[in-house]
Chain A
Amino acid sequence: MGTAPKTAAPASGRAATKKELPEHFKAYKHVWVFIEQERGQVHPVSWELMGAGRKLADKLKVDLAAVVIGPEGEATQSAAAESFCYGADLVYMVADNLLADYRNESYTKALTDVVNTYKPEILLLGATTLGRDLAGSVATTLLTGLTADCTELDVDTDGSLAATRPTFGGSLLCTIYTLNYRPQMATVRPRVMPMPERLARPVGRVISHPLGLVEDDIVTKVLSFLPDRDSAKSNLAYADVVVAGGLGLGSPENFQLVRQLAAVLGAEYGCSRPLVQKGWGTSDRQIGQTGKTIRPKLYIAAGISGAIQHRVGVEGADLIVAINTDRNAPIFDFAHIGLVTDAIRLLPALTAAFRARLSPHSRDRIAS
């Protein structure tokens, strides 16, 4: 169940096209970004959203606020201080030791209360496991609209949030409005928005808000937390170089050609959705709208045809290189450099050539 693809606007009925914001929502002002932290670490998607939020706030001529929720102490304070460096005009903070671990009940209460008290017009969250868990609960509590996984956020001429996201399995884009409810909520996946520049800024105004709960009010208990071992964690979303393979590899064994090239480049490897569906690759390595969004400096797509679902996940890359036998494959419409050839044959040669090119001193090292 989800946002079922709907028909386009003209047919969509009475409230659809006209903005008739009820009186009690007119007090809702300002753009907010939920700053996601887990065990003292702010997720970078929060700063990416601050960059997007800044643009919206400037266009609306309102303040940009960060919402920092976490335990009392240094980590939460520093998340607030960092928010100013990424453009926050002010920070709403709920600091309580009951918020040390993410739990849906306490975080939903904290965020819902701050929204009801200070009334933002727009509220943005990262489309992470935490952000989606929280956003769904908060939006339902507030009975407002929530647009998931946006790829573009803008403000239209009458000040409404225009949230664009892929639809129909990624084959088309649609722009979604929440005209008659507030706040207008949206989630954005990590790496969809560029990371804004960090500025050194003095700490600004922090408005603290109480959580208003005791431990007994929170039913769910965290029994333990097992952090991912570094070796097991793929850094795909934040990698500088990514090599990925698609159905053009022909067989699951050939996926190792992608991994070998990635190893030589010090890169992360990934795959397209059909590969995951065939069981040749795992979903944590899937690149595209339903997988990871990437923004590397170099992206090499081997045997990937380039459905829009994939395009959405990679178009933030600085340089896209496509290798495909089909000259008419859609990937050549958005790649920067293309080579019409069989990836299975080219990849070993490419790996060898890169190895030779990138380690010119290897002979010197052996000699010494």
Chain B
Amino acid sequence: MHIVVCIKQVPDSAQIRVHPVTNTIMRQGVPTIINPYDLFALEAALELRDQFGGEVTVLTMGPPSAEDSLRKALTFGADRAVLLTDRFFAGADTLATTYALATAIRKISTEYGAPDLVFTGKQTIDGDTAQVGPGIAKRLGLLQLTYVAKISALDLTARTIDAERRSEGGVQLLRTRLPCLVTMLEATNQIRRGAMADALRAARAGIVKWSAQDAGVEDISKCGLRGSPTIVKRVFAPAARSEKAALIESGEQPAEALIDAIFKRQPTLETELAALARGY
């Protein structure tokens, strides 16, 4: 069995700061991490490999420094890492990203065998779109299972996969055919600690690096900024509210003072809250 896991190296957004005066992003010194959701996808892939045998290939598109994330994935036990890196990919939106990644996965198929499964996290913490997984599936003509909480069965002979997919009102148990793309939900498994042997191997491992040409991109105009139908016209800081919060003086009875202020501002709230509280 061959599983391709797509990961993304993202800035640790919890640590991004906006310059207070110029309102520009201060990116210097912000550490990068593997998109946390992708780790659940990687773990799910590794567990299947451990159970069924085969190989896990980790793929990312990004600047040369994204090699760090791939090496990290190798320490977890991935068998192979592919970095898709080229200035032509810069500025890609989700559609252009899926074009590049789908092309790379085709190349991986020829070089290392066609994948039975492609995994991604449910979304990234920087883009948050959840669009790239479905986009790759569509580009490659794969079936897709998104927001998967659990892979309940995999039958490599019958070429079927059963998975629990989270929906708004419950859980769908779906059966579909391989090859298939799966996006994994968070907290679906316990992410392993890398074994010492894997860490040593990862430190020495060669990372496969492909430019657009190496990966077999046929139409460079479908990549990066040029291949992106969406265009960012304006980036701006949200407007400050003209009025700041009315601060309650925390005197002897701050709780009572706060409740008075709430009901003074919204007089109907008192009866509504009383009704809600009684109904509870």
A227 near B170: Cβ-Cβ < 8 Å: yes
Please name all residues of chain A whose beta carbon is closer than 8 Å to the beta carbon of B266 when the two chains form the complex.
Answer: 297-298, 318-319
Q: Which residue of A lies closest to B275 (CB)?
A: A266
B241 vs chain A, min Cβ distance (A): 5
Contact of B175 among A175, A220, A290 (CB under 8 A): A220
A176 near B273: Cβ-Cβ < 8 Å: no
A129 near B23: Cβ-Cβ < 8 Å: no
Q: Which residue of A lies closest to B162 (CB)?
A: A223
Known contacts: A148-B130, A220-B176. The answer to whether A1 contacts B259 by CB under 8 A is no
Chain B contributes a number of interface residues (CB within 8 A of A) equal to 98
B binding-site residues for A, Cβ under 8 Å: 6, 8, 11, 13-14, 16-18, 23, 25, 35, 61, 91-95, 97-98, 101, 120, 123-135, 137-139, 143-144, 146-147, 162, 165-177, 186-187, 225-226, 228-238, 240-241, 244-248, 250, 253-256, 258-259, 261-262, 265-266, 269-270, 272-274, 276-280
Contact of A266 among B98, B134, B261, B279 (CB under 8 A): B279
Known contacts: A129-B168, A221-B174. The answer to whether A137 contacts B277 by CB under 8 A is no
B258 near A339: Cβ-Cβ < 8 Å: yes
B87 vs chain A, min Cβ distance (A): 13
Known contacts: A136-B134, A139-B131, A226-B170. The answer to whether A173 contacts B162 by CB under 8 A is no
Known contacts: A1-B124, A8-B235, A266-B280. The answer to whether A297 contacts B269 by CB under 8 A is yes
Cα A265 to Cα B274 with chains together (Å): 8
Please name all residues of chain A whose beta carbon is closer than 8 Å to the beta carbon of B123 when the two chains form the complex.
Answer: 2
Known contacts: A145-B93, A333-B240. The answer to whether A264 contacts B177 by CB under 8 A is no
A337 near B261: Cβ-Cβ < 8 Å: yes
B264 vs chain A, min Cβ distance (A): 9
Asked if A157 CB lies within 8 Å of chain B CBs, one says: no
B251 vs chain A, min Cβ distance (A): 11
A348 vs chain B, min Cβ distance (A): 9
B172 near A128: Cβ-Cβ < 8 Å: no
Cα A298 to Cα B174 with chains together (Å): 40
Cβ proximity bits A15-47 to B, threshold 8 Å, 1 near / 0 not: 111000000000000000000001101010000
Known contacts: A8-B235, A297-B272. The answer to whether A133 contacts B174 by CB under 8 A is no
A175 near B280: Cβ-Cβ < 8 Å: no
Please name all residues of chain A whose beta carbon is closer than 8 Å to the beta carbon of B147 when the two chains form the complex.
Answer: 129, 133
- For this complex, 23 residue pairs linking A to B, each with C-beta atoms less than 8 Å apart, are A6-B232, A8-B235, A9-B234, A12-B232, A13-B225, A16-B233, A104-B146, A137-B144, A140-B95, A140-B134, A144-B229, A145-B228, A176-B231, A181-B229, A220-B176, A265-B273, A298-B266, A298-B269, A336-B245, A339-B248, A346-B255, A349-B254, A357-B270
A4 near B127: Cβ-Cβ < 8 Å: yes
Report how many A-B pairs have Cβ atoms within 8 Å. Answer: 345
A133 near B225: Cβ-Cβ < 8 Å: no
B268 vs chain A, min Cβ distance (A): 9
Contact of B255 among A15, A41, A176, A349 (CB under 8 A): A349
Contacts A223-B174, A321-B258, A333-B241 supplied; 16 other A-B pairs, CB < 8 Å: A1-B8, A4-B91, A4-B126, A5-B126, A12-B232, A39-B169, A104-B143, A146-B129, A168-B126, A172-B236, A179-B231, A241-B273, A327-B247, A337-B248, A340-B250, A349-B254
Please name all residues of chain A whose beta carbon is closer than 8 Å to the beta carbon of B273 when the two chains form the complex.
Answer: 241, 265-266, 298, 354, 358
A binding-site residues for B, Cβ under 8 Å: 1-9, 12-17, 38-39, 41, 43, 101-105, 108, 127-130, 132-133, 135-137, 139-141, 143-149, 162, 167-181, 219-228, 240-241, 263-267, 273-274, 277, 282-283, 289-290, 297-298, 308-309, 311, 318-323, 327, 331-341, 346, 349-350, 352-355, 357-359
A311 near B238: Cβ-Cβ < 8 Å: yes
Please name all residues of chain B whose beta carbon is closer than 8 Å to the beta carbon of A178 when the two chains form the complex.
Answer: 229-231
Cα A128 to Cα B255 with chains together (Å): 38
Please name all residues of chain A whose beta carbon is closer than 8 Å to the beta carbon of B168 when the two chains form the complex.
Answer: 38, 43, 128-130
A233 vs chain B, min Cβ distance (A): 8
Please name all residues of chain B whose beta carbon is closer than 8 Å to the beta carbon of A266 when the two chains form the complex.
Answer: 273, 276-280
